[in-house]
Amino acid sequence: MTETALDRLISDERLRPFLPLLYMAWADGELTPGEITELCDRIGDVVDADCRELLDGWLDPNHPPRAHDVARLATAIRTDVHDGHGPDLDSIGLAVRLAGPLDEEVVASLREMEESFGPFEASATSALVALPTESTIAPLPDPGRPEFDGKALRALLNGPHGDVKDKVWSICSRPEFAYQYDISISDYRRQVLGWLQALADEGLGALGTPAELAGAGDPGGFLAAFGTLGHHDLSLLTKFGVQFGLFVGAVQRLGTAKHHDLVTGALQLDPLGCFAMTETGHGSNVAGLETTATYIPSTGGYEIHTPNPLARKDYIGGAAEHATVAVVFAQLRMGDLGHGIHAFLVPIRTEHGEPASGVAIGDDGAKAGLNGVDNGHLTFDRVRVDGEALLNRFASVDGEGRYSSDITSPNRRFFTTLGTLVGGRVSVASGAVSVAESALTIALRYATRRRQFQTTPGPETSLIDYPSHRQRLLPRLAATYAYHFACAEAVAEYVGLESDAGDTGEARRVFEGRAAGLKAFATWHTMDTVQECREACGGQGYMAINRLGSMRDDVDVFTTFEGDNTVLAQLLAKSLLTEHHSSFEDLTPGRLLRYLRDRVSSFATTNLPVIGSVGGDRTDPEVAGLLLDRRRDLSLEKLAQRIQRRVTDGRDASEAFTEVQSHAVETARAATEAYVYAAMRRANVDDPALSEILDDVSVLYALWRVEEDLGWFLTHGLLTAGGAKAVRSSVATLCDELAPHARHLVDAFGIPDEVLAAPIAL
């Protein structure tokens, strides 16, 4: 790599003592162009002409350095600080250790600049070096020994795939995986592709693929790797998921032996693939996709066609630049008959990188986030593929042009096809929870070092010591813990379903509904958490190098890909209403009416007595769980009653459900939050001290969710006014009691500093 001016600036020992001043000239944000010029002149008095030339370039007011270069300069200064080179220097308002000797002329010049310009912004320089100062940002305090076994907690959080997580963290801690800021979209895409190749070279992409297809046969390990990537760069996570989860997963699970040769190469990114399902006009309505695959009797092949602009495949990760093959979902047409959605392998680029004949490729360009992913759009103008292109695990067309499937119901066949991809929703939920863990680690570490105002004589008060600050972050930490355990349980259940012994149609349908709810509410929780963490870190949270802004922008789309959250919440509600039926829409009005009457009757006979007040038992885990369970059951009962009334009035199932969609989403929320709490309670904890802490964390989650929905609990008689006050009081008390443990709880996530990277959290 060619040496840049910044490389020379950092490596020149004569300029080393001045690096903090050069950094602060831009990071402080208070110097005028005239002052920057004066600063350059003053430093130039004690350095030679070559150094002066470097300074002129670095401090040119009309050409400020890129954010990435400022971040690199900060890294160089922190290296000096942590290596302990040289004496202390107080002349810039902080104790900053620097490499190399400081002669009297340099010290005098620095002191003169201090007097001329005044002290730099203490909070910014403290965040840069994190050394003991009188700044409002103190060094990260030693949290002391936890009152519980911290190693046991980390092992519990890591689960059975701790070795995979450690491997992912080790790879992402390499220098070439360092974050860059102010990078062009084109360069960012190339960087992410290089990272993806490194993960493939290390065998991470092959973890979930069966051994007979050159994989490791460890789907749980694959999901663990995917989730852990959520601590690093979400463009990389997405690219990893598209290639190894969606593309390879679709070929493996929807195809048969004749397609599986493709998998071996794809595990090494040859070919790079994409997953062409979503269309411009049809979003989550996969059954309504308009792309057609028309059977051609004379050749036994298919013609892939985009009939109108709304049928364009859009937002397809990998399509814009890198992918050469697409798994295309299309309506299979055979003569006058339509057989619904099927998947086809379609080459979209030639070996020279040009669009294949009949394929038009467009670049979706800049997005709000995930700009390391080359999203693009595809249209097909009567593109011919051979008969082997149909991924035919669930349906085939023989040499005589006869269509056959072991699944006779088109609706069930459709849901079975999509159900093979349910692991994607579990993956997205796990990755989102990792983002929340990173954000909370940054915000809570910062809250222990950042001081603001004084409540008593002496130093200013740490943010974590303010009740309002604790109550912003600690309930969200508790919720993140709960979602972590719920995702781990979902991963284990998914792995069981993937095995022959656990893969029953009934169990899978129940799991698909639960996975849909988990994905929806985990990603909504993460969006809320990252935004709260950003605000809780003030201006520092808005700085690019502290990563909270990019986390928020990148994770935003998690709420709509792998299924729009509102649609997925409704899917869960339908699953809860119909239990083991393959589809809510499959129920005839008569069967649906009888079924709903049975459900309402069941709810009514099993209803528990109303809780008048939580009273002294409000922190009892069983009482907290009971509140969530009662809300779930009663909400589902009310939803069933509303649908029953509409069906009685003559509406069909779909129409009746559409009219109560908002209630369905809230029912799904209630069910998911009850499940998440129960999953955390099921975690196997042997250590009594650790069990006690996790009891408090789980109860804080449950009571916080009750507090956020107090109106519902009051109007439905599950809490009295006194009980509602007790819940509020309990949430505040638990936040106070957990505050001293907050550092240990986030440190147990085990995120390496190189991956976390935010200076305010290191």
Give pLDDT tens digits for 600-618.
Answer: 555 544 444 344 444 445 5
| Tokens 């129960």, located at residue | 678
**Top-ranked range on mean pLDDT: pick from 91-100, 419-428, 699-708:** 699-708
- Token reading at 628: 């969530």
Query: What is the total count of domains within the chain?
Result: 3
Confidence at residue 202, expressed as pLDDT on a 0 to 100 scale: 97
Same domain (yes/no): 437, 534: yes
Same domain (yes/no): 338, 428: no
Q: How far is the CA of 250 from the CAs of 245, 300, 660, in angstroms?
A: 8, 22, 34
Q: What confidence tens digit (pLDDT) does each residue in 11-66 have?
A: 766 666 667 767 666 654 555 666 666 666 666 665 666 666 766 776 776 666 66
Lowest mean pLDDT among 170-179, 285-294, 403-412: 403-412
Stated length of the chain = 762
Q: What confidence tens digit (pLDDT) does each residue in 93-121 have?
A: 333 333 344 456 555 665 665 555 554 44
Lowest mean pLDDT among 85-99, 250-264, 572-586: 85-99
**Whether residue 555 has pLDDT greater than 80:** yes
- Residue 552 lies inside a defined structural domain of this protein: yes
Same domain (yes/no): 20, 53: yes
Residue of 568 and 461 predicted with greater confidence:
568
Cβ atoms of 340 and 331 closer than 8 Å: yes
User: What is the reported pTM?
Assistant: 0.81
- Residue 427 lies inside a defined structural domain of this protein: yes
Biggest distance spanned by C-alpha atoms of the chain: 94
DSSP string of 62-90, one letter each residue: TSPPPHHHHHHHHHHHHHHHHHT-S----
Cβ atoms of 537 and 443 closer than 8 Å: yes
**How far is the C-alpha of 359 from the C-alpha of 383, rounded, in Å?**
7
Residue of 91 and 624 predicted with greater confidence:
624
Cβ atoms of 491 and 220 closer than 8 Å: yes
Choosing from 106, 129, 152, the residue where a domain stops is 129
Confidence at residue 35, expressed as pLDDT on a 0 to 100 scale: 66
Same domain (yes/no): 600, 694: yes
Which amino acids are annotated catalytic? 562
Residue of 499 and 77 predicted with greater confidence:
499
**Whether residue 87 has pLDDT greater than 50:** no
Residues paired with 334 in a beta bridge? 337
| SS3 call for 313 | strand
In 3D, which of 659, 660, 641, 657 has the Cα closest to residue 597? 641
Same domain (yes/no): 368, 507: no
Residue of 551 and 10 predicted with greater confidence:
551
Q: With bands split at pLDDT 50, 70 and 90, how would you rate the model's confidence at 426?
A: very high
- Residue 226 lies inside a defined structural domain of this protein: no
Which residue spans within 320-451 are E strands per DSSP? Answer: 325-334, 337-347, 359-363, 375-380, 383-385, 396-397, 403-404
Same domain (yes/no): 405, 451: no
Cα dihedral across residues 64, 546, 122, 131: positive or negative: negative
Cβ atoms of 39 and 114 closer than 8 Å: no
Lowest mean pLDDT among 417-426, 523-532, 534-543, 673-682: 417-426
Same domain (yes/no): 624, 666: yes
Same domain (yes/no): 481, 571: yes
Buried b (16+ CB within 10 A) or exposed e, 438-473: bbbbbbbbbbbbbbeeeeeeeebbbbbebeebbbbb
Contacts of 750 (CB under 8 A, 6+ apart): 154, 157, 158, 165, 169
- Token reading at 252: 């493996």
Residue 702 burial (CB < 10 Å; 0-12/13-18/19+)? buried
- Token reading at 495: 């792995």
Residue of 47 and 522 predicted with greater confidence:
522
**How far is the C-alpha of 522 from the C-alpha of 33, rounded, in Å?**
47
Q: With bands split at pLDDT 50, 70 and 90, how would you rate the model's confidence at 416?
A: confident
What's the domain range around 638? 423-456+464-761
Residue of 143 and 363 predicted with greater confidence:
363
Same domain (yes/no): 388, 442: no
Buried b (16+ CB within 10 A) or exposed e, 553-574: bbbbbbbbbbbebbbbbbbbbb
Same domain (yes/no): 547, 684: yes
Confidence at residue 84, expressed as pLDDT on a 0 to 100 scale: 42
- Token reading at 360: 């038009």
Other beta carbons within 10 Å of 684? 6
Where does residue 401 fall: left (phi above 0), alpha (psi -120 to 50 degrees), or beta otherwise?
Answer: left
- Residue 137 lies inside a defined structural domain of this protein: no
Confidence at residue 117, expressed as pLDDT on a 0 to 100 scale: 52
Where residue 439 sits, what CATH number does that domain have? 1.20.140.10
Residues paired with 316 in a beta bridge? 376
Which residue spans within 183-272 are E strands per DSSP? Answer: none
| SS3 call for 694 | helix
Across the chain, what does the average pLDDT equal?
Answer: 84
Same domain (yes/no): 432, 408: no
φ, ψ of residue 633 in degrees (nearest 5): -65, -45
Lowest mean pLDDT among 218-232, 357-371, 486-500: 486-500
Residues paired with 325 in a beta bridge? 273, 347
Confidence at residue 578, expressed as pLDDT on a 0 to 100 scale: 80
**Whether residue 757 has pLDDT greater than 50:** yes
- Residue 484 lies inside a defined structural domain of this protein: yes
Q: How far is the CA of 600 from the CAs of 249, 670, 674, in angstroms?
A: 40, 17, 20
Other beta carbons within 10 Å of 285? 12
Cβ atoms of 33 and 60 closer than 8 Å: no
**Whether residue 501 has pLDDT greater than 80:** no
Element (H, E) at 39: helix 33-44
**Whether residue 394 has pLDDT greater than 60:** yes
**How far is the C-alpha of 228 from the C-alpha of 237, rounded, in Å?**
9
Residue of 142 and 266 predicted with greater confidence:
266
Choosing from 129, 149, 171, the residue where a domain stops is 129
Q: What is the mean pLDDT of residues 733-746?
A: 95
Other beta carbons within 10 Å of 14? 13
Same domain (yes/no): 367, 342: yes
Cβ atoms of 292 and 307 closer than 8 Å: yes
Q: What confidence tens digit (pLDDT) does each residue in 304-323 have?
A: 999 999 999 999 999 999 99
Q: What percent of the chain has pLDDT over 70?
A: 75
Where residue 338 sits, what CATH number does that domain have? 2.40.110.10
In 3D, which of 81, 67, 174 has the Cα closest to residue 549? 67
End-to-end CA distance of the chain: 29
Choosing from 129, 151, 176, the residue where a domain stops is 129
Confidence at residue 651, expressed as pLDDT on a 0 to 100 scale: 87
Buried b (16+ CB within 10 A) or exposed e, 53-89: ebbeebbeeeeebebbbbbbbbebbbebbeeeebeeb
Q: What is the mean pLDDT of residues 725-730?
A: 92
Q: What confidence tens digit (pLDDT) does each residue in 427-481 have?
A: 999 999 999 999 999 999 999 887 676 666 667 778 888 899 899 999 999 999 9
Residue 354 burial (CB < 10 Å; 0-12/13-18/19+)? exposed
**Whether residue 269 has pLDDT greater than 50:** yes
Q: What confidence tens digit (pLDDT) does each residue in 343-386 have?
A: 999 999 999 999 999 999 999 999 999 999 999 999 999 999 99
Q: What is the mean pLDDT of residues 149-171?
A: 95
- Token reading at 588: 């005839």
Residue of 401 and 96 predicted with greater confidence:
401
Q: With bands split at pLDDT 50, 70 and 90, how would you rate the model's confidence at 686?
A: confident
- Residue 267 lies inside a defined structural domain of this protein: no
- Residue 747 lies inside a defined structural domain of this protein: yes
- Residue 143 lies inside a defined structural domain of this protein: no
